[in-house]
Amino acid sequence: MTHLVLTADSSSAGGVVSAGHADLAVAIELRMVWGPPRSDAELAAFWAARTSQEPGSHWLDSVPPWRLQKFGMSDLGLIDACRRAETVEFWMDTEPNAQLVLIWLLDHLGPQAKSLGITLRHVDASLGETEPARLAEMKFPGVAIDDRHIEVAGLAWQSIRAPTPHDWFNLLSRDLSILPQLRRCVLEMLEELPARATGLGASELRILELIAAGYVYPFDVFPHYRQRFQRRVFGYWEAGALLEGLALAPVPAVSGLAEWPFTLVHNERERLARYKASRLSLTALGKAILAGTEDFSRHNPIDRWWGGTHLTNDRLWRWDPVLLVP
């Protein structure tokens, strides 16, 4: 029998196994904080037994086939795998994407999560950044999933997929303590909506602030410098897209980006080197945005997704610390 753990990224999965907390750890690596929402059919197929799903569209895609075979888990759906395992635990980091994966998981399983005997670990550390020896010594409280977990997760999952941010905002008035990291996730996601004054989300604004502070190379303003960046919603690839949006807009807020698109510069060593060597600076618009006198969306088209909300110039939901406004 197998001790199965689900995490939200491969580095966490590797750390949990290396620390001896799991026989098999599966990373659910879908990025729920970025891009348009997946359809209900796509989401259901992700957890189902493997048939014709595209690569990256099945919950076991992050695990090498030989390892799945070792534990008799090849191509199984989530529920069948949970039934086959001796114990099943969810180890989800504190970052917003991991919390969105958690509420999706709980909503998908519903009451079956109780009958399957799944344990939820209250993780309050970065699993992937903790040395295995240290992680082996760490103890995270584990609780059996009950009706309250399922109720709160289901409400939150439907809220983030709603066509406006209202329901997600309204979560702040509810008791979310059964999922200890969820309230912080709600706030951090709201902060990535366009700000009322600037038209930029918190991470975009932080990029401008760092450039203004003298960090002129692209990778110096990326979230992997956690203490410097101070925002946790987006990761490496998303930061590249955010910087491009600021630098390549019709009226840019950043100048000096030497190579793009970010997803392709990694294919050629010379292009990646030129990208890394780019010397960034703020344009007049970027400086005015930081001064609080200009709004990025007044000069540039907005077309991006926030959960189930499609943000455009005509439908630009904005956030400030007091209220949510259309």
Q: Domain span at residue 262?
A: 202-301
72 and 117 within one domain = yes
* Domain identity same for 120 and 268: no
Q: Residues 42-52: what's their mean pLDDT?
A: 96
Residues 11, 158, single domain; the answer is yes
Confidence (pTM) = 0.95
Q: Which two tokens stand for residue 197?
A: 């004054």
% the chain with pLDDT above 70:
98
Compute the average pLDDT of residues 44-68.
Answer: 95
Q: Output Rg (C-alpha) for the chain, integer angstroms.
A: 21
pLDDT at 126: 84
pLDDT value of residue 157: 98
> Alpha helix (H) ranges present in the chain?
10-18, 40-47, 65-70, 78-84, 96-109, 112-115, 132-137, 147-160, 166-170, 182-191, 202-212, 226-229, 236-247, 262-265, 269-277, 284-291
Indicate the number of domains in the chain: 2
Residues 85 and 23: their CA atoms lie apart, in Å, by 10
- Same domain for 150 and 17: yes
Same domain flag for 96 and 216 = no
| pLDDT value of residue 1 | 67
Q: Give me the pLDDT at residue 320, please.
A: 84
Token pair 């902060």 in the structure block, residue = 191
Check whether residue 162 and residue 209 sit in a common domain: no
Q: Is the pLDDT of residue 226 over 90?
A: no
Residues 54 and 156 in one domain: yes
Rounded mean pLDDT, 297-325: 91
**Mean pLDDT for all residues in the chain:** 95
Judgement on whether residues 102 and 230 belong to the same structural domain of the protein: no
CATH number at residue 14: 3.40.50
How large is the average pLDDT for residues 117-146?
Answer: 91
Cβ contact 205:287 at 8 Å: no
Contacting residues for 112 by C-beta, under 8 A, at least 6 apart: 79
Are 16 and 156 found together in one domain? yes
Same-domain check for residues 79 and 220: no
66-to-23, 28, 72 alpha-carbon distances in Å = 14, 18, 10
Assess whether pLDDT exceeds 70 at residue 322.
no
Domain boundary among 166, 189, 223: 166
> Residue 248, CB half-sphere, CA atoms under 13 Å: how many?
12
Position 186 in a domain = no
* Cα gap 192→210, rounded to integer Å: 17
